[in-house]
Structure 1
């Protein structure tokens, strides 16, 4: 049959494609334009922008100003560029070198300061008898002011105080806890750990909330001892929590012991309990040498950065080996 030229050509059914069914149960996915996709990509950055702006203005910018200020002079050379003179003076000052040695001591004691709340959190998680009471008792020192804690332990550790009286009662001689240069720093660090490990304990307990209980059950069925369970199950499972506690504990030990040092020893005896933060306060607050204090602050920041990165790398290696 001939086709009239005026009749429009009919497309094949295959070329027309399947018809769209729009029924009561059909879903119609709207197409997103370029503007919508771009807005989705930019949304996280927009949400992070206020926090990043606050960090930039209140953290990074003052840090850069402090580093720049450390290359200027004090006194008669106030505001003048002096190059590395402040750093040369720092590393020639016996008090600052003693403070750096104490930083090394803190780094060596850091695993102990992390292990104590970690083990206590493990016992609480395993529900030892009285675990609810222990949780409150362990956290209580964290709410006390460092000045109050220092004053309490000054009374307890005095040469004629109750601790030496107890030692005398069992036949041991009195110990000059805060007056002996070989003992005083260990005492202050021990008091600091006692006063602050409650926060690390809470962080560990939060990490235990994410631990797969079936792993502990499997270890118990296999007859694993508590040390084996901690090494092969708990430590690998809480690796990120441990990294966080290591970094925050280190920062706290290097930057939050001023109150205890000021109340308990004032940097003595013989400068044996100096730490960089106490040295910074002496230079800035008493000797009016802000440029030298800025140089000491820069050195302290670099120490915390390097030690933190090393601790994290060592911890990751230990977890992989476990």
Structure 2
């Protein structure tokens, strides 16, 4: 009776037999201590701190000093607060006005400067015949010094140079590429685009690696043309990459053309190729007006900031409409 009552209490627990090891009891999950969780929160900050320190010391602090210096005077008024006098002087300077007009021209030409590497990267990604050779050829100008590029194109674009001789063979008159105020800025911008689009092409190719190949296959199956594929598949899929290339290309146009301007035109003819960075160098390096140059640098920073934000806003709105 007692044995029956014991057996009816519940299922019998099998006792380990000889030679059979008992299963180890599961260990409780380790608890995160307050010290460990704090270390996990601080680890990203410690890793980012060196880069933030470099940016603050080498970028932001000089920027603040430059902005502060732009409100002081030059010459006899060196170190004296002059308020907005330097900025008013900039607005009355015809050369600075020309530089601002050229900035507006660069903004208008920016879509072309971005579309060229974008289309070439598309052809390379789609593996047109010879795409491996084209990739190397397209990137080659990006490794050349701006001074070397300017010297080469000074020979090619000379009034009696090879380009005008080629135009003469097809019945077109010679063009004064580097002497006509209405033409020279376009020639310099074209040379800059040729010399730098290789980097943008690499960025586009990196963006293509994130694009879903099945979307391209679906477009091909549906009979979409190349233009339709680019508009409805590639552009929406690379919207972030396009935003990045737009901003970096604009910054490059405003801050990386000094070498070309110095060697090819020297700001001429008649000051028609002045850009803010060249104007800054003239005021600082030749006319010894560092405060006025600081004001021009601050104006250039504000121009890049406003143009960059406007571009990002327009591109995001366009991407939203595509979606």
The alignment's TM-score, normalised by the length of structure 1, stands at 0.92
Match of 1:93 in 2: 93
Runs of 4 or more above 4 Å deviation: 22-25
Deviation at 1:254, TM superposition (A): 0.2
Q: Does 1:50 align with 2:50?
A: yes
**1:269 and 2:269 matched:** yes
1:286 paired with 2:283, answer no
Match of 2:256 in 1: 256
1:169-221 CA-partner distances (Å, limit 9, x unpaired): 22111110010000000000000000000000000001111111001001111
Cα distance change on mapping 1:230 and 1:27 into 2, 3 Å: farther
Q: Which residue of 1 aligns with 2:102?
A: 102
Deviates more, 1:27-36 or 1:72-81: 27-36
The verdict on how the C-alpha distance between 1:233 and 1:26 changes in structure 2, with shifts beyond 3 A counting, is: farther
What does residue 305 of structure 1 align with? 305
User: Shift of the alpha carbon at 1:84?
Assistant: 0.4
The CA distance in 2 between the partners of 1:246 and 1:23, in whole Å, is 63
1:126 paired to 2:126: yes
Aligned pairs for 1:1-322 (under 5 A) are 23-24=23-24, 26=26, 28-322=28-322
Q: Distance in 2 between matches of 1:160 and 1:105?
A: 28
**Separation in structure 1 between the aligned mates of residue 192 and residue 277 of structure 2, nearest angstrom:** 15
Rounded to whole Å, the distance in 2 between the matches of 1:216 and 1:155 is: 44
Choose 54-63 or 32-41, whichever is displaced more.
Answer: 32-41
The whole-number CA distance in structure 2 between the counterparts of 1:281 and 1:60 is 21
The answer for unaligned runs of 5 or more in structure 1 is 1-21
Give the C-alpha shift of residue 28 in structure 1. Answer: 3.7
Query: Per-residue deviation at 1:166?
Result: 1.1
Q: What is the CA–CA distance in structure 1 between the aligned matches of 2:23 and 2:235, rounded to whole Å? A: 55
Displacement after TM superposition at 1:23 (Å): 4.7
Q: State the distance in 1 between where 2:54 and 2:289 align.
A: 29
Tell me the distance in 2 between the aligned counterparts of 1:133 and 1:204. Answer: 17
Deviations 1:96-136 (A, max 9, x none): 00000000000000111001000000000000000000000
Equivalents in 1 of 2:295, 2:187: separation in Å? 28
Partner of 1:6: none
Aligned residue in 2 for 1:19: none
Q: CA distance change for structure 1 residues 209 and 27 in 2, over 3 Å: closer, same or farther?
A: farther
How many pairs does the alignment contain?
301
Q: Are the structure 2 counterparts of residues 214 and 27 from structure 1 closer, same or farther at C-alpha, using a change threshold of 3 Å?
A: farther
TM-score normalised by the chain length of structure 2: 0.92
Q: Which runs of 5+ in 2 are unaligned?
A: 1-21
Structure 2 Cα separation of the partners of residues 25 and 312 of structure 1: 58
The Cα of 1:27 is off from its aligned counterpart by 5.4
State the superposition RMSD in angstroms.
1.1
Distance 1:136 1:82 in 2: 53
* Distance in structure 2 (CA, Å) of the matches to 1:252 and 1:23: 67
Aligned partner of residue 203 in structure 1, secondary structure: helix
In structure 2, relative to structure 1, the CA distance for the partners of 1:134 and 1:39 (3 Å cut) is: same
Shift of 1:26: 3.8
Q: 1:32 to 1:155 in 2, by over 3 A?
A: same
